């Protein structure tokens, strides 16, 4: 049986993807922040629950240890946790809350699971966003300490641009299949902590799609044996080669960003030969 780890799976498109992949015969590790919801989703899909708060990197490290102990084979990782963070805040690790929640924690989990994923010739799928096109990534200010947040949308866009660049870096460094995607404008609890986001979401409710529709690209990217596109491709929904910020194709920026991420999460920059 193939095994997929899905983070951010206690609600929304993550839980819907868990349900559909379970129906297709996958063993699902359901990872969420809220224990009760995570266990409820795992019970619903016949999966295995794991609780971790990505605002603390030690919890991510503990999660990786638990996953490695539980699953001798991991075929796919769906890095789906994240969200819009309206306030300026630092984590216990000393990093910007938005950047850690959307980028650093997922990268750390990926790197810790990497040997097992590579052994299975597995695949990593990262949930990004069309909002990446608003992002301006500055390696000297990844934490947005010296820039305006722009209602937090600029910071969120920069984090999702970083997600796309990290996915491409992972593909280039390791040869492991690695893709990022925009799920669409999904009806969910996204932006619930942000007053501006709540207003925008209320005004545009007719444009939103259901969580199961948003999960469809994730399920497709996990479950389709041959995607027929270059490794590292960014998808807009089910469509490859989605529009991105111009710097998303900058190979040097992707490499430099990886170095900056590796330094923050405490993993070596070098990788084994492909």
pLDDT tens per residue, range 106-124: 999 999 999 999 999 999 9
The domain limits of the chain are 3-265
pLDDT at 184: 79
pTM of the predicted model, to two decimals? 0.91
Opening angle at CA 60, ends 13 and 270, nearest 5:
105
Closest CA to 156 of 209, 196, 125: 196
Task: Quickly state the pLDDT bin for 196 (edges 50, 70, 90).
Answer: low
156 classed as catalytic: yes
CB atoms within 10 A of CB 243: 11
**What is the average pLDDT across 13-17?**
96
Q: Cα–Cα distance between 21 and 5 in angstroms, integer?
A: 11
Of the listed ranges 84-88, 98-102, 203-207, 267-271, the least confidently predicted one is 203-207
> Considering the domain 3-265 in this protein, what is its CATH number?
3.40.50.720
pLDDT for the residue 165: 98
At 47, give phi and psi (nearest 5°). Answer: -105, -170
Q: Per residue in 23-74, pLDDT tens?
A: 999 999 999 999 999 999 999 999 999 999 999 999 999 999 999 999 999 9
Rg (CA), the chain: 17
Could you say which of 156, 166, 179, 234 is catalytic?
156
Q: Which residue has the tokens 């690209």?
A: 217
- The pLDDT, as a whole number, for residue 274 is 45
pLDDT band (50, 70, 90) for residue 251: very high
Residue 232 burial (CB count, 10 A): 19
CA 262 to chain CA centroid, Å, is 16
Segment 260-272 shows an average pLDDT of: 86
Mean pLDDT of the chain: 90
């Amino acid at each position: 049986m193939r095994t997929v780890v899905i983070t951010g799976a206690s609600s929304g498109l993550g839980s819907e993807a868990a349900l559909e992949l379970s129906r297709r015969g996958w063993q699902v590790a359901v990872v969420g922040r809220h224990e009760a919801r995570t266990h409820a989703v795992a019970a619903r899909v016949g999966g295995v629950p794991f609780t971790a708060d990505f605002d603390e990197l030690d919890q991510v490290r503990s999660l990786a240890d638990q996953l490695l102990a539980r699953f001798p084979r991991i075929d796919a990782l769906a890095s789906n946790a994240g969200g819009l963070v309206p306030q300026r805040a630092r984590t216990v690790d000393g990093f910007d809350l938005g950047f850690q929640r959307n980028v650093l924690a997922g990268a750390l989990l990926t790197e810790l699971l990497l040997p097992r994923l590579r052994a299975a010739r597995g695949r990593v799928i990262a949930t990004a966003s069309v909002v990446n096109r608003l992002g301006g990534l500055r390696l000297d200010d990844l934490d947005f300490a010296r820039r305006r947040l722009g209602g937090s949308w600029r910071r969120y866009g920069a984090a999702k641009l970083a997600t796309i660049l990290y996915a491409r870096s992972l593909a280039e460094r390791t040869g492991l299949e690695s893709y990022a995607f925009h799920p669409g404008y999904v009806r969910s609890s996204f932006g619930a902590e942000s007053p501006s986001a709540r207003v925008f979401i209320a005004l545009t409710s007719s444009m939103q799609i259901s969580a199961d529709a948003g999960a469809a690209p994730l399920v497709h990217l996990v479950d389709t044996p041959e995607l027929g596109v270059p490794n590292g491709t960014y998808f807009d929904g089910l469509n490859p080669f989605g529009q991105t910020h111009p710097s998303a194709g900058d190979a040097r920026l992707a490499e430099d960003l990886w170095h900056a991420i590796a330094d923050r999460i405490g993993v070596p920059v070098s990788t084994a030969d492909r």
